[in-house]
Structure 1
Amino acid sequence: MKILFACDWDFTLLYKEIAKKLNYELNAICFGVINGKIFYEKYKNDGFEKCFFMQDLVGELKKGIDSRDWVEVLKDIAKYEKKYGRPTLNAAAMSDRTYYYQPRTERARRIIKTYKKLEEFIETIRPDLVLTSGFGALPFFAISDICQSKRIPIIYPLNSRLENYHLPSFTQYEESETHGINNEIIPKKASIVKAKSLIDSFNKNPKKPVLESLLSYSHFKFSFGHLYRFFRYIYRYYFSKTYYGDHTKNPPHIKLVSEIETRLKRKIFQKLISYQSIPDDINQWFYFPLHIQPEYTTMICGTNCIDQIGTLISLSNSLSISNGIIVKEHPGMIGRRNMNYYETIKNIPNVRFINPSTSSFELIKKTKATITISGTAGMEAILLGKPVITLGNVVYNSYKNILSLKKIPRAKWGEEINYYLQNFNNNYEELIDYIAKIIDQSFSFNWIEPQDNPEKVLNNENIENFYKFILKQINLISKDKNYGKTSIINKSYL
């Protein structure tokens, strides 16, 4: 079996270990395509039969993305959007926070060239299976599209938002007809017992899932380690040329200004922002936690809710005049949005912008319902037996006791929300059954940037657990020729 590992930066550290085990135990031929020159140069001969540098494959480090006449590029856009669009390939640009902000023509040229180059690459390798570390960059998004069109299983470990349980995902989206929770399967008794224990424990002492608990925002503080890394950055950009030409790496002076500006804004904003008070009739209010932006959770999984202010305006117009929306900033975004953003939110009718240090769990418990685009707060509200309204693609949309508005026109949001809340009934047994199904169908391992969390991700036990997850997928593929294979159906062209 030929397996291609699509490694984004430090996920190479984990994937090379899996490649070694697959080669040793299954005699699998493992190829690697690595994003990030440092990791490519260091690990290109470690665990992989052959390795490729992503930036070389897509021609990123070469000048002249696509010098053809724009009329010729337009022909390719029509061709590739018909093949891969849903209904537009702009989603490919939205997967990459850097390309998303580029001028339209430059963005289009980059997308077309990336798809062309990677089509040629996949055709040359002809893998039986692709393991990817995400879709938060244009090349990885394109590889997924190409594999789907060629009916090659491409697997991504999708976080269930429950502890550290992961499901296999076969598309770039958290929801699909071919992955997620199968509600038709009866869970094992052991999983039911574990689900009940988990729910009861969470209600007594709610905790973030492992992935989010490992995320630290202490990197905003200044230390001598930051100074060392900055001088190392200068060396790699100007002297070793490791970062030069990489679209994800700004010149050192721009990076320095950006980092200083963010830290100053964090300090200033927390002192200057006049947060609003929590209303006395909090049980008549909805809780809406803001998402990190730009980020995959809103740019891709958020469907048409990438504009969070516009989304809040639509929600405000959809709710009863007796209701309101409590908005809380994400801790990772403090200092990254401008003051006008917050003032605009505060000026939306029936909206209150509260201090980000307020406990999310307390807000979920006390408010009328939690509204989220694609955040973990939705799963937390499910566990606490509270109403949940989602606006985008998210794995727990499969739970029948939540309201998904992603396909509902905004003009109808109000009546849908009213009907849902009037008929909401938290059924404890149904909740246990759903959580048991997640436990039954998923795998437990830590899957987060290995370099930031080596003791949690790169220890032998975690590597073995992740390997079992991959091995299970390989076994299923060998038994069922259609397992994990998806096809892009572009309905806009039917």
Structure 2
Amino acid sequence: MRKILLWIDDSSFLQYCFSTILKNKTNYEFSAIADVNKKGKKFLDDQNLLDFTSISYYRECMPKKDHNPDEQFLENFEKKYGINLWTVILSERLFYNFTTYYKPSKKEILSIVESTCRFFEKALQNISPDFVFMKTTDNFHNTLFFELCKAMKIKVLTLASGKLANSTHVSLDNDAIDETKPDIPVTEIEIEQFLDEHDPYKQDKIKKQKETTPIKKRLINFIRYMKEKEDETYYPNFGRKSIKFILINFKLMYLGWQRKKFLEKNSIKTLEDEKIVYFPLHFEPERTLLITAPFYSNQIEVITNIAKSLPIEYKLYVKEHSSMELLFWHDKSFYNDIIKLQNVKLVHPSVNPKQIIKKCDLVTTIAGTVGLEALFFEKPVIVFSDVIFSYFPNVYRIKNKNDLPKIIRKVLTLKPNKDGIKRIVSLYKKECINIDRINLQHKCMKNIGMDGINNLIIPTQEKLKKFIDENKKELEIISDEHISKMELYEKNNVIQGHRNDVMIL
């Protein structure tokens, strides 16, 4: 009997939902690691839609304030599993760079890391799962869990967005689509239809709409959240249980208004008649920078290096991400660092990115979806991390920043071709399922009351059963895809994600 371990947290109950369908098609044993609030714990303890042999609650392992971290244990843990802990630690926005509400000390951080390592190691040794079902990693502890599973040779099936609208894949890697089938030929008409159906900017628009909460409602949610008397030892809640929390948010709203005025005055809304290299800013903090590209997460540094590498006749157009409005924009000093570069222009977030892609000669991105979009316009792409499309034709992955000037000049001499487009369409048609995972996820969370703050969710069997019944078709497809991938990976003895190797069906 296969043992399946589910990762469940306040922002993701999808794995639970499709597993209630999967259980009726298989003879699997289910366990769970749950990072949920007290209401989520009560639901999991009381529910009967899915029989669990065990549930391990992550928040119960949080250390006491006076705990002294055992650094020798952490050193031994690193050596045993080959995991660089500081890479994982500094990918956590609440430990580094985005400590708006609370700045934890090194002692607090290492105490949390030690407790987390011990908790996950013990849970995985006790359960000994064949497969783990989880969402895309997005914080310190689920990233550490993912890396530990890989180190222990446990197959992790990640249900992830394909970075384009209406595309979802199940893979062993957060940032790659496993190739399990031979390439398929595609026609010009199929390429046009594909881009219309899977336009990444439709996905961004949907995501922004789902994540936008009116200011008045956000303030009400903040007050409700502050009244909650639970999980105060849980590190994401540090600094969020005082009046200072609300005062900081009022201050951020005012700063957001000032920053917006600054952008209006200091960014361009019309593209000029000049040679352009394009770099769109990433939304931050987000996993795309912190986890996918941990050594290129300083966007100002990357922009400066690109600017230093450009041929003299080119300008670098840097466009702000429109969704940064949700986080009150970047600080004015951030924009000033861009503007002071003489061969760089800051582009207003309202400018349609497609206009820039069509006009530019090269798209550069740290790990953004814009690289996929650029290939549809037959534009070459430079990326700074391993992503879904980093090995496609006309895409160049930077591994040494000293090579940047040479690679930029080489790429700018390339002639437009459709090789990259054909590769995208083939990959997505053969490996992705035509489901909008992000939209489905938001529907699930809306059903259980999440409205901008994870800690306010109140999952109940009635609410989740309603969601499962209303979305049974999509959940059936996701369930079948997991079954298919498990059989495929076992047959081919695959543990790590494969990009190019075609597996035996």
Q: TM bucket by the smaller chain?
A: 0.7 to 0.9
Report what 1:52 is aligned to. 56
- State the Cα distance separating 1:223 from its structure 2 match: 5.4
Whole-Å separation in 1 of the counterparts to 2:403 and 2:488: 42
Which residue of 378, 383, 403 corresponds with 2:371? 378
Whole-Å separation in 2 of the counterparts to 1:375 and 1:270: 23
- 1:268 aligned onto 2:279: no
- Distance change in 2, residues 1:6/1:108 (3 Å): same
The percentage of aligned residue pairs carrying the same residue is: 20
Whole-Å separation in 2 of the counterparts to 1:323 and 1:166: 37
Structure 2 spans left out of the alignment, 5+ residues: 98-103, 448-466, 499-505
Whole-Å separation in 2 of the counterparts to 1:252 and 1:451: 31
- Distance change in 2, residues 1:188/1:45 (3 Å): farther
Letter in 1 for 2:278: Y
Letter in 1 for 2:55: C
What does the per-residue CA deviation read over 1:197-224, in whole Å, with 9 as the maximum and x for residues that have no partner?
4532477799336643321258666455
Report what 2:101 is aligned to. none
Letter in 1 for 2:291: I
Report what 1:29 is aligned to. 29
- Distance change in 2, residues 1:77/1:445 (3 Å): same
Which residue of 314, 321, 342 corresponds with 1:323? 314
Return the TM-score normalized by structure 1. 0.84
- State the Cα distance separating 1:468 from its structure 2 match: 1.9
Which residue of 152, 161, 164 corresponds with 2:163? 161
- State the Cα distance separating 1:306 from its structure 2 match: 0.9
Calculate the aligned-residue CA RMSD, in Å. Answer: 2.8
Aligned length, in residue pairs: 459
- Distance change in 2, residues 1:319/1:121 (3 Å): same
Whole-Å separation in 2 of the counterparts to 1:2 and 1:96: 30
Report what 1:200 is aligned to. 192
Q: Is contact 1:97–1:294 with CA below 8 Å preserved after alignment?
A: yes
Whole-Å separation in 1 of the counterparts to 2:134 and 2:211: 27
Letter in 1 for 2:8: C
Whole-Å separation in 1 of the counterparts to 2:160 and 2:198: 22
Moved more, 335-344 or 124-133: 335-344
- Distance change in 2, residues 1:421/1:223 (3 Å): closer
Report what 2:221 is aligned to. 229
Report what 2:272 is aligned to. 280
Structure 1 spans left out of the alignment, 5+ residues: 488-494
- Distance change in 2, residues 1:138/1:203 (3 Å): closer
- Distance change in 2, residues 1:94/1:164 (3 Å): farther
Q: Is contact 2:87–2:294 with CA below 8 Å preserved after alignment?
A: no
- 1:340 aligned onto 2:333: yes
- State the Cα distance separating 1:356 from its structure 2 match: 0.6
Which residue of 307, 318, 328 corresponds with 2:298? 307
| Partner-residue secondary structure (3-state), 1:310 | helix
1:83-162 equivalent positions in 2, closer than 5 A: 83-85=80-82, 88-100=84-96, 102-162=104-164
Whole-Å separation in 2 of the counterparts to 1:186 and 1:296: 30
Which residue of 474, 480, 483 corresponds with 2:486? 474
Which residue of 382, 400, 415 corresponds with 1:389? 382
Whole-Å separation in 2 of the counterparts to 1:484 and 1:65: 40
- Distance change in 2, residues 1:17/1:317 (3 Å): same
| Partner-residue secondary structure (3-state), 1:311 | helix
Q: Is contact 2:165–2:198 with CA below 8 Å preserved after alignment?
A: no
Return the TM-score normalized by structure 2. 0.83
Which residue of 191, 202, 206 corresponds with 1:214? 206
- 1:444 aligned onto 2:437: no
Whole-Å separation in 1 of the counterparts to 2:422 and 2:211: 38
- Distance change in 2, residues 1:439/1:258 (3 Å): farther
- Distance change in 2, residues 1:288/1:94 (3 Å): same
Q: Is contact 1:77–1:112 with CA below 8 Å preserved after alignment?
A: yes
Q: Is contact 1:328–1:356 with CA below 8 Å preserved after alignment?
A: yes
1:64-75 equivalent positions in 2, closer than 5 A: 64=65, 66-68=67-69, 73=71, 75=72
- State the Cα distance separating 1:170 from its structure 2 match: 2.1
Whole-Å separation in 1 of the counterparts to 2:29 and 2:91: 29
- State the Cα distance separating 1:122 from its structure 2 match: 0.5
What does the per-residue CA deviation read over 1:437-475, in whole Å, with 9 as the maximum and x for residues that have no partner?
221022222223756334898622221221122111222
Q: Is contact 2:21–2:476 with CA below 8 Å preserved after alignment?
A: no
- Distance change in 2, residues 1:262/1:114 (3 Å): same
Report what 1:5 is aligned to. 6
- State the Cα distance separating 1:365 from its structure 2 match: 0.8
What does the per-residue CA deviation read over 1:79-118, in whole Å, with 9 as the maximum and x for residues that have no partner?
23333456x3112113322133544443333323311221
- Distance change in 2, residues 1:242/1:254 (3 Å): same
Q: Is contact 1:290–1:329 with CA below 8 Å preserved after alignment?
A: yes
Whole-Å separation in 2 of the counterparts to 1:352 and 1:301: 26
What does the per-residue CA deviation read over 1:338-393, in whole Å, with 9 as the maximum and x for residues that have no partner?
11111111112311112110001111111121110001111111112111111122
| Partner-residue secondary structure (3-state), 1:375 | coil
Q: Is contact 2:7–2:132 with CA below 8 Å preserved after alignment?
A: yes
